[in-house]
Chains A and B, each alone.
Chain A
């Protein structure tokens, strides 16, 4: 089996795993995060559709405010910093969890969530200010696309915050069991992926959108 597979180029020198199931399925600690990785990637496909919509409609302002009149780069810089640090601290929390340190796992997860909340608060403040100035999602196609794209990311961050809170409670109540650690790993993948999407948003929407 193995030599046959090697003959048709299905194996790597250092890996016997041909994907043909000759040693049975992988353990749950591999399969579960891999399945979640596929979900995260399809989530990125979803965002790519929203990005494409935004790029198409970015100049369709219908006489309303354009992107370079609306956005405040200082606020965006603070948002970006908060989310990046949050992503980093999430990684630190994973290290603490792997070492089985309950106190520091809880502390780092809490900081991860607080930084995420800072991000979300600034975003909601920005949305409220824009809507207050008459630049709500119903004003123009550009603003509809903006609120859909950035709001969808914000909704993901909100879901992530709820997940972080749930995770803190579960780690506290059940300890570092295998299935809890799997959920922690999925959470960290989700949180890092949100930061990757934010990199695209702050570049395309906020920086390119406010170029002179």
Chain B
């Protein structure tokens, strides 16, 4: 397969294409950020300083941020033109994950609310 060297090639997922130094640095930065976000998550979950009802949402946001850190610094998914295929596949995966999770939680919550007598009158669900 002869290729024009001037063409930008695709990069495999997980495959960094920078120099060795910045590759090592990428993992170190990723580890530091992931540790920081994990630490903040555990702190947020155990402190009583924060407004209670907002804590769960905050934890989800922190988790999504940490997943982003893992994707960028460990899996080397970038926005560069050589990564388009990887990003598009990821975008499709995220779309399906989002549809499955949000769709299920949404519909099942409505179903539970609309079905028969309220849960405290039945033994099917011991809601807390």
Contacts and interface: CB of A to CB of B under 8 A. Distances in A.
> Do A and B belong to a common assembly?
yes
Interface of A: 12, 14-17, 19, 23-27, 29-30, 32-34, 36-38, 41-42, 44-45, 48-49, 51-53, 55-56, 59-63, 66, 73, 77, 80-81, 84-85, 87-88, 91-92, 95, 98-99, 185-186, 188-189, 192-193, 195-196, 199-200, 202-204, 207-208, 210-212
Given A41-B90, A196-B70, A55 B101 contact: yes
B4 interface: yes
The interface centre, meaning the residue of B71, B86, B93, B96 with most chain A CB atoms within 10 A of its CB, is B93
A9 B66 CA distance: 34
B7 A17 contact: yes
Nearest to B30: A88
A153 to B, nearest CB: 14
A37 B81 contact: no
B92 interface: yes
A199 to B, nearest CB: 5
The interface centre, meaning the residue of A24, A32, A80 with most chain B CB atoms within 10 A of its CB, is A80
B115 to A, nearest CB: 13
B31 A88 contact: yes
B101 A48 contact: yes
A194 B100 CA distance: 19
Contacts of A55: 101, 104-105
Nearest to A90: B74
Contacts of B96: 45, 48
B56 interface: yes
Given A53-B104, A87-B74, 4 more contacts: A30-B11, A33-B13, A88-B31, A202-B41
B12 interface: yes
Contact of A12 (B23, B59, B60, B81): B81
A200 B67 contact: yes
Interface of B: 1, 3-4, 7-15, 20, 23-24, 27, 30-31, 34-35, 38, 41-42, 45-46, 48, 52, 55-56, 59-60, 62-63, 66-67, 70-71, 74-75, 81-82, 84-86, 89-90, 92-93, 96-97, 100-101, 103-105, 108, 123-128
Nearest to B26: A91
22 contacts: A15-B8, A17-B8, A17-B10, A19-B85, A26-B10, A30-B11, A33-B13, A33-B14, A34-B10, A37-B13, A45-B100, A48-B100, A52-B104, A55-B104, A60-B125, A60-B126, A73-B46, A85-B31, A92-B24, A95-B23, A185-B14, A186-B14
Contacts of B48: 212
Contacts of A36: 13
